Every structure is written in structure tokens, then in C-alpha cells.
């Protein structure tokens, strides 16, 4: 699907974005292995989360959609059944990596395979710590999918993370639920803590101490009722668009503002973006409304320790930096090369096609801001975040643009272009948000 995008003067309106993808995955996983009924409101309806749901359905868990809720009848920690065939996780890296921890404690063999793009992403980083826990886990082709797990007894370990990765951390913590004793994971830098927050909410014996997280295994979890807040990664596209287009004002409702996830707010604030955090609620996951108005922006320095908290927002930060005064330097973003596509390469090519100035030097990404980008033929490279980021760039360009294979946005935000159109259609009217 090719989308044609013409530049607009401004964005204006009040919107809600879909539920947070990371939280949605974990809500399904914990609901499936808890005892009793879990009801989730606001669960993200997208390709990736559907893969997690189908995986558990194939292992005997009842998961149904009722109006705006998803109802899960949990099996308990050891109540899953062996699937009839392979678990196909599509392009969902979260499903494959985090589910590996749960499958480690099951008394059966499971094979997880994937679509081509995920089959190029490394799984050795998950296999290594799970192997230390006594799990019989194997990968193919030098550490890539498919992943084969012969579940069984799991032993508790103390593990120091080699890479800041919430997915790897979560896999170990899920496996720890099945171990005798206490497993401790120590990070070099804090990554997203959605798993820790939600495990506590479901009753796991979990403690945090700075960069260390400990889980004592063997305790059954209890089904809960919860609401998934809006995904700040999805919100970031509209935040950037409202910032860049003069006269814009966008109000986004109930967005996750988890401190381990909200690095985009820190970066945008340094760049001069104007926004307000409104009506904050401190639930098991904090959320708030975000109001953004247009403002000129300047370049900034993004250091490696910040990367885990903005890894999914970096593509839209590239766009924002390309239209900001001065230079932006991004350090330590190598993880972008092993996403759905090489996001450094895809964003560099697209921004360059539009007349932007982006380069690499000694591993750093250097972006020199320009006054305006030009319309161009853009490629998504099959990557949802590349497609959505470049759609925002196209709105601020001089001349029309087109985005090839734009249907890939269904991976995380099927209604993206419809939501974007709702804000564009307000462009000629008085803003009432």
C-alpha cells in the first residue's frame, strides 16, 4: 500500500492513541499464566499483540474480546498445554524473546518460528541466560530464529546483563517464576520496567534495588483487572508533528508516562518543545494527558545511557532533529540496526532523499538541521516506525511525498493514518482542543 501525503499548515485536535504495546504483551502473558480471570481494557489491537494472543490460545488458554475488553481465563503457572505445531510469532520480537522465559518452565517442547524480518534478529542474547538457568534452548543459523525450547526444571541464578534490553530481562524474570529459589538480574543501565511493575501487580514475589531485580519462584499469580495506558511511542509522532508545524495544538489522552519509558519527553524538552503533562494518575503504570503546542526547536546531544528509554522513539527524533536549528548527535544507538529493519540505514536514506543532512562518524549519528525538507518518494522498508516517522516529515515538507508499503503500520498502530487525518482536517478550522 502506497500512501500519498501532502504538506499541511498545522495539526489540531484531541486524540487518544492505542494501548501501549509493551504493556499489552505482558498483560496477556501474565493473565495467561495466572490463576483465575484477568480482564484487560485498552489492550492494543495490532499484529504483534495478536501473535501473543494466538500463541497462548494454541496452548489452551481462553482469550476472548468482549466490547473494549479482553478476557483471559488463566491456566496457572504450569497449566499450559503443548501446542499442536510451531508457534509462529510473525514479526513480534517481544513475543519470541519474552515468551521464551515462560516456555522454559513448561514440561514440553516448543518451537517458535518467525517471519523473514524477525528471522534476522538475534536471539542468542536470550538463549544465553536461559541456558545458564538450565534450560535446553537452541537457535538456528548462529543465534537466529527459529528457537527451540525443551522446557523443564529451571534453576535460580544471579545474572548481570550484557546489553540493556527489557526483553532479555523479562525473559529471565518470567523463567524465574518457575525456579526454586531467588533469581536476581542486574542491569548496566535501567531498561523499561513494565514487567517488574506488572508482575508485582499479579502477586509475584519481586523486589527491586536500584539496577537489581529479584524474583523468588514457585508462587502462583492471581488474575487481575487492569487498563492499558496509551503508548507513548505512538503518541510521539503526533507530539513531533505538533511541535514542527506552526500554529499546531494537539491534546493526547491517557498516555503512559512511566519514567523508564518517557525519555522522549526529556529529549524534546531539551530541544525546546513546548508541552504540558496534565491530570497524571499513578496506577500500576503511571499515565497522563499530554498537550503539545508548536515551537521552534534546537539540536541536542543524546548520550548512550539515554538510548534504552527512547529506542522506539529514535526514528521520530531523527525527523525532529532534521528540522531543528543546529546539530544533533546521537551516541550508542547500534540497537537500531537489529529492529524490523536497520533503522539507522532506513532513516538516513529517507531523510537524505528529502534533502536532510544526516551522517555517521565513529558510530555516532550526526544530524544537521535544515529549514525545510522537500517532498520525495519514501520507503518504509517494511518497518512501522520508519513509515510513521516519515509521514510526519512529509507533513512538514515542501511538496507532496509518497510512502511505499505503508500498510506495515498495522504492526503497532493500524489506525495511524486515520488518526493523522483527523488532526489534518482541523487545520483550516479554529482549534478547540
pLDDT at 162 over 90: no
pLDDT at 430 over 70: no
Q: Find out whether 49 and 122 touch, Cβ atoms under 8 Å.
A: no
- Tell me what pLDDT residue 95 has: 97
Q: Where in the chain is the domain with CATH 3.65.10.10?
A: 3-19+230-424, 21-227
Q: What is the mean pLDDT of the chain?
A: 94
Q: Residue 85, exposed/middle/buried by CB under 10 A (0-12, 13-18, 19+)?
A: exposed
* Neighbouring C-alpha atoms within 13 Å toward the C-beta of 408: 23
pLDDT > 90: what percent of the chain? 86
Average pLDDT over residues 224-229: 97
The region of weakest confidence among 136-140, 178-182, 218-222 is 136-140
Can you name the residues that pair with 381 across neighbouring β-strands? none
- Tell me what pLDDT residue 261 has: 87
- Tell me what pLDDT residue 197 has: 97
Going by pLDDT thresholds of 50, 70 and 90, the confidence category of residue 431 is low
Give catalytic residues, as residue numbers: 312
Average pLDDT over residues 55-66: 96
- Tell me what pLDDT residue 121 has: 84
Going by pLDDT thresholds of 50, 70 and 90, the confidence category of residue 68 is confident
Q: 3-19+230-424 maps to which CATH number?
A: 3.65.10.10
- Render pLDDT for 372-400 as a digit per residue (tens, 0 to 9): 999 999 999 999 999 999 999 999 999 99
Q: What is Dmax (Cα atoms) for the chain?
A: 63
pLDDT at 276 over 90: yes
The region of weakest confidence among 29-33, 60-64, 410-414 is 410-414
pLDDT at 339 over 80: no
Q: 21-227 maps to which CATH number?
A: 3.65.10.10
Can you name the residues that pair with 250 across neighbouring β-strands? 13, 292
- Tell me what pLDDT residue 308 has: 86
Beta strands (DSSP E) in 261-376 are: 274-282, 286-293, 301-302, 327-330, 357-361, 364-368
- Tell me what pLDDT residue 119 has: 83
Output the pTM of the full model: 0.91
Q: What is the helix (H) or strand (E) element at residue 251, kind and residue range?
A: strand 249-256
- Tell me what pLDDT residue 142 has: 79
Q: Is the dihedral of CA 147, 46, 98, 67 positive or negative?
A: negative
| CA distances in angstroms from 416 to 15, 18, 24, listed in the order given | 11, 9, 18
Going by pLDDT thresholds of 50, 70 and 90, the confidence category of residue 432 is low
Average pLDDT over residues 313-332: 97
Average pLDDT over residues 118-133: 92
| DSSP secondary structure code for residue 214 in this structure | E
| DSSP secondary structure code for residue 332 in this structure | S
Average pLDDT over residues 146-154: 96
CA distance 113 to 146: 4
pLDDT at 426 over 70: no
Going by pLDDT thresholds of 50, 70 and 90, the confidence category of residue 429 is low
Amino acid at each position: 500500500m502506497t500512501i500519498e501525503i501532502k504538506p499541511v499548515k498545522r495539526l489540531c485536535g484531541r486524540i487518544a492513541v492505542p494501548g501501549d504495546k509493551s504493556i499489552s504483551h505482558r498483560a496477556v502473558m501474565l493473565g495467561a499464566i495466572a490463576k483465575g480471570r484477568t480482564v484487560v481494557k485498552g489492550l492494543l489491537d495490532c499484529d504483534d499483540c495478536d501473535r501473543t494472543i494466538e500463541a497462548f490460545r494454541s496452548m489452551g488458554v481462553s482469550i476472548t474480546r468482549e466490547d473494549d475488553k479482553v478476557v483471559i481465563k488463566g491456566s496457572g503457572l504450569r497449566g499450559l498445554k503443548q501446542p499442536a505445531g510451531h508457534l509462529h510469532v510473525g514479526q513480534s520480537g517481544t513475543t519470541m524473546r519474552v515468551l521464551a522465559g515462560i516456555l522454559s518452565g513448561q514440561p514440553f517442547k516448543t518451537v517458535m518460528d518467525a517471519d523473514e524480518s524477525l528471522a534476522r534478529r538475534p536471539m542468542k542474547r536470550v538463549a544465553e541466560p536461559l541456558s545458564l538457568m538450565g534450560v535446553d534452548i537452541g537457535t538456528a543459523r548462529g543465534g537466529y530464529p527459529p528457537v527451540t525450547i525443551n522446557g523443564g526444571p529451571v534453576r535460580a541464578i544471579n545474572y548481570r546483563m550484557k546489553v540493556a534490553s527489557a526483553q532479555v530481562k523479562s525473559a529471565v524474570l518470567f523463567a524465574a517464576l518457575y525456579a526454586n529459589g531467588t533469581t536476581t538480574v542486574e542491569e548496566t543501565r535501567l531498561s523499561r520496567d513494565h514487567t517488574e511493575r506488572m508482575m508485582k501487580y499479579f502477586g509475584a514475589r519481586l523486589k527491586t534495588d536500584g539496577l537489581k531485580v529479584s524474583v523468588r519462584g514457585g508462587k502462583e499469580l492471581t488474575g487481575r483487572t487492569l487498563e492499558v495506558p496509551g503508548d507513548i511511542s505512538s503518541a510521539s509522532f503526533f507530539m513531533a508533528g505538533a511541535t514542527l508545524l506552526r500554529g499546531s495544538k494537539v491534546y493526547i489522552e491517557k498516555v503512559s508516562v512511566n519514567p523508564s519509558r518517557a525519555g522522549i519527553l526529556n529529549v524534546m524538552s531539551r530541544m525546546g518543545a513546548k508541552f504540558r503533562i496534565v491530570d497524571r494518575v499513578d496506577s500500576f503504570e503511571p499515565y497522563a494527558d499530554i498537550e503539545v503546542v508548536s515551537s521552534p526547536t534546537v539540536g541536542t546531544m543524546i548520550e548512550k545511557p539515554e538510548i534504552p528509554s527512547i529506542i522506539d522513539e529514535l526514528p521520530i527524533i531523527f525527523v525532529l532533529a532534521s528540522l531543528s536549528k543546529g546539530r544533533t548527535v546521537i551516541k550508542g544507538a547500534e540497537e537500531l540496526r537489529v529492529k524490523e529493519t536497520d533503522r539507522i540505514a532506513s532513516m538516513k536514506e529517507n531523510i537524505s532523499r528529502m534533502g536532510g543532512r544526516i551522517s555517521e562518524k565513529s558510530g555516532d549519528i550526526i544530524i544537521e538541521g535544515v529549514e525545510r525538507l522537500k517532498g520525495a518518494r519514501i520507503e518504509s522498508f517494511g518497518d512501522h516506525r520508519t513509515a510513521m516517522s516519515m509521514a510526519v516529515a512529509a507533513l512538514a515538507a515542501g511538496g507532496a511525498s509518497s510512502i511505499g508499503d505503508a500498510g506495515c503500520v498495522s504492526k503497532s498502530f493500524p489506525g495511524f493514518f486515520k488518526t493523522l487525518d483527523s488532526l489534518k482536517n482541523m487545520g483550516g478550522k479554529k482549534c478547540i482542543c
